[in-house]
C-alpha cells in the first residue's frame, strides 16, 4: 500500500480486495471522493442511480444475480434517510449488503446535513459501523464485510466526510474478511433423520419438494431434482427462486401468494412438503393456506421453529442444500411406493406448467378440471 494515500482511496482499494467489482451509487458531498476512487479502480464498474433507495435495490439485485455482496453508496443526512426502506427489506430478506455512507464532518461546528445515522440503521435491522478512527479503518471495512457475509444482513459503513480526506496511517496490507470467516464444510444430516425423511417420502401419496434461495446459492438444483426423481415428488420453488425448475415436467412453479391456481390446488392435497434452503416465511406458505394438510420437513443450515408468528415445520434437518444422501436412500427404499402425484403428470402436456386435466388421474392429488389457470407473478 502506498504511503500518504487519502483514506477514501485506501477504503476503495480495501473494497476491491474484498472482491467487489461493481457498486451502485448516488453521489453527494459525503461519498463523492470514495465513489470517484472506486470508479477509477481497474476492473470496477460503477452504476449511478437517480435515487438512494434505487442504488441499494440495484445492489440487492446484484447479489441475487451473482451471489456476491452487494455494494451501494449514499451521502450523509438526507441521502442516508432515503434508504431506510431498502435496509429494512435487506435485513428481512437476509441479503448481504454493504453501504458506504458519508457522515457529517466530525470537526465542523455546524453542518446542515448532520443526522444521527446509527439509530435509524438499527431500527431497520441493519448493522452500523462508525468509522471514526484512522488507525482502525481497515478493521472497519473487514468488520462490515464479515458481518454482511457471515450474518447475511445489510451493513452500513459510516465515514465522516472530512476524515475521508486525511492520509491513512501506515497500516500495512489490507487483510480481507475471508481471512477471518470460519472455514466450514458441508453440514450432513443425522442418519436417523435421513431415514425418517426417506420413510416419509416412501409413504407419501402427494409429496412436494419446495426449493428456495439456499438451493440457488449452493448450486444444488440438480441434486434437488434428483431427489424428486428418486422419490416421485413434485417440484416447487419460492418466489425468489422462481424459474429454477421450469424445464422440469413435474414442476408446479411458485408456491405462496403468487402461485397459480393449479399450484394451490395441488398444495391443498399435498400430504408431505420437503422444504430445502427456504425459511418458509409467511408469503411462501401463503399465511398457512398453501399446504394446509401437509406434514412439513425443513432442510436448512439454520432451521427455525417459529417464523412470522407461525410454526415452520414438523421435522427439521440441519443440513446443507445438497440432498445427495437422501437421494441415494430414496433410490433404494422409496421406489416401491412411487408417489401418485408423478403418475398423474406422466400423461400430461410434458411442460413445466401442468394443467388440472393432467393431474386428475391421481387418487391422492385428484383435482377437478378448471376452465383456466392464473399466472400472476
- 90 grid coordinates: 435487506
Would you say 50 and 44 are in contact if contact means Cβ atoms under 8 Å apart?
no
Rounded CA-CA distance 132/7 in Å is 11
Q: Which residues of 78-111 are buried (b: 16+ CB within 10 A; e: fewer)?
A: ebbebbbebbebbbebebbbbbbbbbbbeeeeeb
Q: Which residues of 264-276 are buried (b: 16+ CB within 10 A; e: fewer)?
A: bbbbbbbbbbbbb
Strand 310-311 versus strand 306-307 pairing type = antiparallel
Helix (H), strand (E) at residue 276: strand 272-276
Helix (H), strand (E) at residue 342: helix 340-345
In the chain, the largest separation of any two C-alpha atoms, in whole Å, equals 78
Per-residue pLDDT of the chain (377 residues; tens, 9 = 90+): 456 899 999 999 999 999 999 999 999 999 999 999 999 999 999 999 999 999 999 999 999 889 999 999 999 999 999 999 999 999 999 999 999 999 999 998 899 999 999 999 999 999 999 999 999 999 999 999 999 999 999 999 999 999 999 999 999 999 999 999 887 767 777 788 888 898 999 899 999 999 998 998 888 999 999 999 988 999 999 998 999 999 999 999 999 989 999 899 999 999 999 999 998 999 999 999 999 999 999 998 888 777 778 888 988 888 877 766 565 555 554 444 455 666 655 544 333 444 433 443 344 454 443 333 332 23
Amino acid at each position: 500500500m502506498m504511503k500518504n494515500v487519502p483514506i477514501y482511496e485506501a477504503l476503495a482499494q480495501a473494497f476491491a480486495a474484498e472482491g467487489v467489482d461493481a457498486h451502485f451509487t448516488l453521489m453527494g458531498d459525503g461519498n463523492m471522493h470514495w465513489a470517484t476512487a472506486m470508479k477509477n479502480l481497474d476492473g470496477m464498474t460503477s452504476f449511478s442511480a437517480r435515487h438512494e433507495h434505487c442504488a441499494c435495490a440495484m445492489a440487492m439485485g446484484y447479489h441475487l444475480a451473482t451471489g456476491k455482496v452487494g455494494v451501494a453508496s449514499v451521502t450523509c443526512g438526507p441521502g442516508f434517510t432515503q434508504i431506510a426502506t431498502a435496509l429494512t427489506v435487506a435485513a428481512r430478506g437476509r441479503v448481504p449488503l454493504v453501504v458506504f455512507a458519508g457522515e457529517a464532518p466530525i470537526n465542523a461546528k455546524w453542518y446542515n446535513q448532520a443526522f444521527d445515522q446509527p439509530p435509524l440503521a438499527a431500527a431497520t435491522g441493519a448493522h452500523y459501523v462508525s468509522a471514526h478512527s484512522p488507525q482502525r479503518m481497515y478493521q472497519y471495512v473487514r468488520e462490515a464485510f464479515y458481518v454482511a457475509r457471515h450474518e447475511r444482513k445489510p451493513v452500513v459503513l459510516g465515514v465522516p466526510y472530512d476524515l475521508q480526506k486525511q492520509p491513512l496511517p501506515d497500516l500495512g496490507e489490507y487483510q480481507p474478511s475471508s481471512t477471518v470467516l470460519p472455514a466450514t464444510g458441508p453440514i450432513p444430516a443425522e442418519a436417523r433423520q435421513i431415514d425418517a425423511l426417506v420413510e416419509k417420502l416412501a409413504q407419501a401419496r402427494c409429496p412436494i419438494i419446495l426449493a428456495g434461495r439456499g438451493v440457488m446459492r449452493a448450486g444444488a438444483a440438480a441434486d434437488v431434482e434428483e431427489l424428486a426423481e428418486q422419490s416421485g415428488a413434485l417440484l416447487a420453488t419460492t418466489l425468489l427462486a422462481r424459474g429454477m425448475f421450469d424445464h422440469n415436467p413435474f414442476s408446479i412453479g411458485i408456491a405462496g401468494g403468487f402461485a397459480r391456481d393449479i399450484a394451490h390446488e395441488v398444495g391443498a392435497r399435498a400430504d408431505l412438503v420437503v422444504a430445502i434452503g427456504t425459511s418458509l416465511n409467511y408469503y411462501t406458505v401463503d399465511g398457512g393456506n398453501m399446504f394446509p394438510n401437509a406434514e412439513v420437513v425443513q432442510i436448512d443450515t439454520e432451521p427455525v421453529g417459529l417464523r412470522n408468528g407461525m410454526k415452520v415445520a414438523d421435522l427439521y434437518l440441519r443440513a446443507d442444500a445438497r440432498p445427495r444422501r437422501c437421494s441415494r436412500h430414496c433410490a433404494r427404499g422409496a421406489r416401491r411406493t412411487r408417489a401418485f402425484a408423478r403418475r398423474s403428470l406422466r400423461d400430461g402436456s410434458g411442460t413445466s406448467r401442468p394443467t388440472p386435466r393432467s393431474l386428475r388421474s391421481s387418487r391422492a392429488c385428484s383435482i377437478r378440471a378448471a376452465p383456466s389457470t392464473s399466472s400472476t407473478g
